[in-house]
Every structure is written in C-alpha cells, then in structure tokens.
Structure 1
Amino acid sequence: MSPLTTDTLAQPSPPKASPISDLKIEQVPESGTEQIQATTPPYTTFTRNDKRLLTLLLGFATITSPLTATIYFPLLPLLRNHFHTSAQAINITLTIYIIFQAISPAIFGPLSDSLGRRPVYLLTLALYVIGNLGLAVNKHSYIVLLILRAIQSLGASAAFAVSYGVVADVCIPSERGSMLGPVSMALNLGACVGPVVGGWVGYSSGSYEWVFWALVIIGAILLLSVGAFLPETARSVVGDGSRKKQRSGWEESGYNMFRHWVRRRKENASGNDENEKQTVNEDVTLDRSLLQRFRIPNPWACLRMIFHFDTFFVLWMHSSFYTVDYSLVAAVPDIYKSIYHFNELQIGLAYLPRGAGIISGGYFVGKVMDHNYKFTAKKIGWTVNKVSGDDLNTFPIERARSRGSLWLLMVSTSTLIGYGWAVSSHVQVSVPLILQFIQGFWGTYFYTTYNTLLVDVFPESPSTAAAAASITRCAMAAAGVAVLQPLLDAAGRGWYFTLLGLWSGACGAVAVWLIRRKGMQCRTKRTNLGE
C-alpha cells in the first residue's frame, strides 16, 4: 500500500479513547450542507483567476532568498582573492546572511500581519535591489561587503513569511495545499538554479560583479511586478477582500490604481467636483489608516510561538528537515570534488538532481496535503465547508497534515544512510545523484507540510508564525553547518549521514506521534487561554 494513502493510525477507537472526542464535534447533516454553505459568507472574494495571479507573483517573489543564498557559494574563492582576505573572513559573510535570514522574517512577518502584505513586499524588495546594487559596485571595502550582505539578506528573506501569510489570507484550509505546492516549486527553483549559475561564473569568467548586477535586474523586475499587480490581501486590512479601502491607495495594485485614476479624470472632466472631493477625503483617510497600522513588531511574538507545546514539535519537524537539506547541500562541493574530481561547473550541475526533486516534490506535496485533509474529514464524518472554510478549532488539522509522515520518515532515513555509504564507497556517480533527487523530493514534503500546519494553528497571524519557523530553521541549519566538517573528519561520510538520518528519523517519529496524539488538545488549551 502507498504510504500516502495509508493512515498511520489504527481504526478509530471508541469515543472515550479518541483524541478529539472530548471536543464534542457536532456535524451538520449531509442534507442541510448545501443550504448552510449557501447562507454563510465566503472566506474570500478573491476569484480563482486572482489566486492564479497571486500564485505566480508569490512564486517569483519567494525565489529571491534561495537564489541569493545558493548563487553565492561558488563565488567565495573569487571574493577571497578580490578582497585579499582569508577564507575564514569571507565565511563570515555567510554567517551574516544566515543571521539576517532569521531576523528579517521576525521583523517583516508580524509587520505584514498588521500593516499589510503589499507595503512590506515593496519595502523588502526595495532593500533587496539596494543591497545587490551596492554589492555590484563595491570594489574594495570588506566592511561594506558585510553591511551590504546584511541588507541583501534583510530584503530577500522576508518573502517566505509574507507569502505564507498571503496564502492563508485567500485560501480556505482544505485548499491551501493547491496554492502552496506551486509556490514551493518556485521557491526551490532558486536553490536549483543558483549553484549552476554561480558555478558557471567561477568556472568561466573569474569575475563576480555581473552576478550581483543580474540580481539587481531580477529584484527590479519583481519590485515593478508586485507594485503593478499585487493587491492587498491581509485580512486585518481588507477582511475577505471586499472592503472599500482595498479599492484605492496603498492597498490596491498599481494596475487598478491606474484604472481608478483614468476614471477620476473622466469624472473631473465632466465637472463632478463632489466626487473629486470625496476621493481626496478617502485617500487622506487611507493614508492615515496606513500610518496608524504601522508599528514596530515585537520579536517576542515569534519567540513565544516556539515554546508552546503544540507548536514546538511542528517547528522541530520543519526545521530538522531544513537542517538535513542544508547539510546535504553544504557537503556536495567536498564530496564531488574530492571523490569524483568535478570542476566548479560540474559541481554546480551536481545540484540539479536535488533541485529537480524539490521542484517536482513541491507540486506533489500540495496535492497530497489537500488529499490528506479531505481523507481525514471523511474519516471523522466531517463535511468540508468550501465556501467560508472550516473552523479549525474543532477540526483535527494536526492529524490531517501529519498523515503518512511516519512512513515517509522511514524513506528519508533510508535515503540518507544509503547516500552516505554510496559516496563513502565511491560508487558510480549516478547513484548518489539519484539519491539526491529522492531526498530532495521527500525532504520538501516535511518542511512544506509542517510550515503549513504552523500557519493553520495561528490563523490570525500567519506571517508571524512563518517567521517563527524561519528563526528556528535558520538557527538549526547554522548549528548543523557548524558541526558538519568536524563530524565528517571524525566519523567519515558514511557514519555522518547515518547519524544524520537516524537523528532526523527517530526524533521526527517522536515529534509526529506527539503532534497526532497531543497537538489538538494542547492547541485548544492554548486558544482558550488566549495565548
């Protein structure tokens, strides 16, 4: 039986033993479902075509962080020679990037929940363009290089948290996977393309400047695209999307603002002074509203989420498999250069199988998440509300999202162990490349699914929740990379990846078991306490 269609729990227990039995879920009779759903307000007024446009914009916006991080790795020798400094000094630029990769979502994620998604996107993309422009023109100063890397990371790294907030704004829980799948594919396209481009630079040109100029162009295109086509979606600002304030001012896309401007010109030409005065007053009100919503976010809002019992293990699943993936990526240059004698370009190409696995896995994960949601709902006799969305306070979303995880942990653990001993035994190069594809395919399942679950259990502040995930995963990934080389030297590649696989598999199994057995119980208690 397929691990994705076989539930990890036994058949339903009697009501007293059920982990959700105490919640007394009252189901709507099937015959009355259509009538009730017809009278309930829709979750969002954004249409299917609107969501397709949002998916495209979010995908391209979130590509900035992985592209910027991975394109930089092959440039390290060039930067070291150009700035006449040591490898350790240049490695500090990696540390700076990771630090601000954690800080950026903690600042801009909560800010987007209160101020709105659109202005935060515009601000961070502007920072991204400025950072890359400075890196392209900076020729001599190492200190300036460090500062610009921080600005570059601040601008690039917030998109992950803000994008998850947009998905939560416009998609009901049962359909979030269908939007997150393509976004995840685009997100990881940067991780796939970056090393190839950077490797090609290191192999062919011997210069790094044009890479940053290319990132300037990409950032400028994204900034213009978001400014022109991205409407405000934050539910704290526009509700379900139907509020009048969405129709003009900061909350509206540039395209629609232009349409409103043309309409006003026509009204003014016809002598309608009253409409002009009303429009001016509305714009002043909107500007004031924007200023009132602007407040410096409290970073503790993210940190508090980490220590709630129901979210700690969700964050563990997300972050541990991000750490596994980061460790795998960091070990690739050493493995393929020392064992298979690859040059810089070939090393960059060696990332492609993993990237292909992540991209295809991202699409597959979206379909699986929606399938698991519907399967769980059917199993407990729950009627999915496709209009206004389900009340997750009484739905076992933890069971729905984590379904099949125990089987996939076995697959991931086996793949990591096999990869370690394959490269340790110097087998034919196609074997570790195929295993990289498999690990990329299934690895993306864990950190996409559990980040979605984190957003599900914090519906009022989804970007803040995604920021908490970013802080945790960056901290764990930094620690994983720090101990990578000492462990490889001490244990060898075979035992290192064996330990990595057993660590992620065993700890992951405990986390999944606790999420499924205790997650909803603890979430309900936390919600009742108002935390």
Structure 2
Amino acid sequence: MMGSAHAPSASEAEPYSIFTPRHRKILTVLLGLASFASPLTANIYLPLLPLLQDQYHATAQAINLTITLYVVVQAVIPIFFAPTADQYGRRLVSLASLLVYTVGSIGLAINDAAGRRYPALLLLRALQAFGSSACATTIWGVTSDVCIPIERGAMIGPVLSISNLGVVLGPVVGGLVGWRTGHATWIFASMAIFSAATVVSVTPQDHALERHGRHPVAGLGWAVRYRAHPAVVLVLQAFAGFVKSLLFTFSNTLLIDVHPDRPSTAAAAASLTRSGLSGVGLAILQPLADSKGWAGLFTLLALLVGVSQGVVHLESPLISSIPPLQSHKIQTTFAQ
C-alpha cells in the first residue's frame, strides 16, 4: 500500500555488531596500548620532580607548573579532537595524536641530554599532553562503534585495566630509572619508543554508581595525619583507587550509551570537566593542606565525593528513563 511504512522485523530491530569476537579482542589490546600512554606519561614524571628541579635550576613551583600545564592541555585538546574523530574516523585521529606524542617525547629526550632548557621542558610536556589526550577519549568512541550496549562493559573493562597499568608502573619505572641514571633522558626516550611501537601496531590493521567512595578517601587523610603504619595507608589508597576506577568506568560507559551518535565528543566533554577540576585541585592543594592539614583536606574531598554521588542518585530516575539504542547495525569509523 502506498504511504505505508515498512515495519522492521524483530531481527532487524535488534542491535548487532559486524565485528567478530576475535576482531574485538584485537581492538581491545590496541586500544589498551593507545590509552596506556596518558596515565604512563602523567605518573612516570612524578618521581623525577626533585631531579628536574635540580638539573633545570628551577623552583619547585616552576616544575609543578609543567604538571599544571599538562593537565590543562589534556582537558582542552579533546574538545577539538573528539568531533573530528566522530566525523572523519577514530583511526586517523589516533595515529595523528600518537605521532604528536612521539615527537614531543623525542624532543624531551634531546632537550634533557643536550641543553636542559626549562622553556623547552614546559612546551614539550604540553606537546606530550596534546598527543596523549586524544587516545584517552577516542577509546570510548571505538567501543561505541564496535559493540552493542550490552557488550561495551566487557570491552572497556580490559582496556581500562591495561590503561591503569600506567598508573601502577609509571612511578616505579620513573623512580628506578631516575635513581639509577641520575637523569630523565631515558625516561623520555622510552616514551618515544613505546609510542612509535604503538603507531606501528595500529597502522596495520542498569549503570548504578556505588556510594562508598567517600569513606576510604577520608580514612586515608586521617591515617596520614596520625602516621599510621604504611600498610594501612597503602590499603586505604588501593581501595580508594579501586572505587575511583569503578566509578570512572561506570559513568563513562553510561555516557556513551546516552550519546551513541557522538561518543568521542561526549567523552571529551567529560574529560574537560574532569581535567579542569584536577587543574583547580592541583592549584589549591598545597594551600589547603597547609591551612587544614592532610586530615582536613581529605575529609573535605570525601564530602565533595559524597555530594556528587548524591546528585547522581537524584538524577538516576532520569537516567533510567532513557530508551534503549534503536540502531539496526553498529557501524564503525575506526577503520576510516
């Protein structure tokens, strides 16, 4: 009959992915390697701060500025990268950002070996942040491309596990190499080698938020205040990190479910907010610690976590009312 609409069958209406489980496993490894750069770069640098302060003849505040600038660039750049990735393809943006990261790392190694100029250190760290920030947001877009909503958690979990290794290994490697060699040249060179290897690898081929995160945060501050046994501090820190990772994974997976048409852009907006608040936190951390003490500071952080989780709880009826994704086939822009 003229004018009648074609009613899709049950099999047509059900979302499915054109990617096989084997393809998704390969992508999981590649995405994990690409996202590994951002936490590795941020955390491998921290044990080097006293060394850099001495060798670059800079104040502690000047060296801390390299961290602040890194966080600010990480917050802003994805806003420009993500819409490009959503429109023109994730693979192109990922490769371009990794190449920028490689150039920045090579520049840092050369600067540390040859001149040790502070302005170069500042600008090249910003270039590193520029390159590593895009991959941290495009992973959400690729996950949305290749997985139906019910399977996204199974893919993003291993990716974030690989990524979080950078948080664990970064300070250990940075401290060990810096202590053994007495300089940061090999640290920066290893970042360049890792990034170049990743480029070569990529080229061929109900969400409920737990409401317990505030307790280990406050406990950590009081344990430091009363000089508890190091094991107590480490256990509390590990538990706080676990809850943080849990909340991060749940909230970002929810975000790409709510915005399936622009997942990278949505992840970039979240990154801007998160990194922007991190930059503010870095700026006020020491003054607050001096005035309130570590126990008071961590108690304040725990209250902020509790308030934010309360807001999410109030919004949960609105979140649960979002209809399921109605697309018939999951397409991908990663291969473009």
The alignment's TM-score, normalised by the length of structure 1, stands at 0.57
The 1:48–1:78 alpha-carbon spacing in structure 2 relative to 1, beyond 3 Å, is same
Is the counterpart of residue 154 in structure 1 residue 127 in structure 2? no
Residue of structure 2 in register with 1:517 after alignment: 317
The 1:42–1:497 alpha-carbon spacing in structure 2 relative to 1, beyond 3 Å, is closer
Aligned residue type for 1:95:
T
* Structure-1 separation of matches of 2:55 and 2:12: 67
The 1:487–1:468 alpha-carbon spacing in structure 2 relative to 1, beyond 3 Å, is same
The Cα offsets for residues 132-181 of structure 1, whole Å up to 9 and x where unpaired, read as 00110013232222221121111111111101000000111111100010
Contact in 2 for aligned 1:168/1:462 (Cα 8 Å): yes
Contact in 2 for aligned 1:129/1:216 (Cα 8 Å): yes
The 1:37–1:429 alpha-carbon spacing in structure 2 relative to 1, beyond 3 Å, is same
**How many pairs align?**
313
Contact in 2 for aligned 1:104/1:157 (Cα 8 Å): yes
The Cα offsets for residues 391-436 of structure 1, whole Å up to 9 and x where unpaired, read as xxxxxxxxx112xx3xx32x32221222222221112111111111
Using the aligned pairs only, state the percent identity.
44
Is the counterpart of residue 111 in structure 1 residue 84 in structure 2? yes
Contact in 2 for aligned 1:43/1:170 (Cα 8 Å): no
* Structure-2 separation of matches of 1:42 and 1:86: 56
* Structure-2 separation of matches of 1:420 and 1:76: 23
Contact in 1 for aligned 2:104/2:127 (Cα 8 Å): yes
Kindly report structure 1 stretches of 4+ aligned residues shifted beyond 6 Å: none
Aligned residue type for 2:207:
R
Match for 2:147 among 164, 171, 175?
Answer: 171
* Structure-1 separation of matches of 2:231 and 2:182: 29
* Structure-2 separation of matches of 1:195 and 1:64: 14
* Structure-1 separation of matches of 2:106 and 2:233: 38
Aligned residue type for 2:47:
P
SS in 1 for 2:203: helix
Q: CA RMSD in A?
A: 1.8
Contact in 1 for aligned 2:70/2:129 (Cα 8 Å): yes
Match for 1:216 among 192, 196, 204?
Answer: 192
* Structure-2 separation of matches of 1:117 and 1:187: 18
Match for 1:134 among 82, 107, 116?
Answer: 107
Is the counterpart of residue 401 in structure 1 residue 202 in structure 2? no
Contact in 1 for aligned 2:28/2:159 (Cα 8 Å): yes
Residue of structure 1 in register with 2:287 after alignment: 486
Alignment of 1:113-512 (within 5 A): 113-138=86-111, 139-140=114-115, 141-229=117-205, 400-402=206-208, 405=209, 408-409=210-211, 411-509=212-310, 511-512=311-312
Unpaired stretches in structure 2, ≥5 consecutive residues:
1-7, 324-336
The Cα offsets for residues 74-125 of structure 1, whole Å up to 9 and x where unpaired, read as 1122222222222222222112211110122111111110110111111011
* Structure-2 separation of matches of 1:460 and 1:38: 22
Task: State the Cα distance separating 1:475 from its structure 2 match.
Answer: 0.6
* Structure-1 separation of matches of 2:275 and 2:34: 20
Instruction: Tell me which structure has the larger Cα radius of gyration.
Output: 1
* Structure-1 separation of matches of 2:249 and 2:150: 15
Unpaired stretches in structure 1, ≥5 consecutive residues:
1-34, 230-399, 525-531
SS in 1 for 2:58: coil
* Structure-1 separation of matches of 2:107 and 2:265: 29
* Structure-1 separation of matches of 2:219 and 2:270: 29
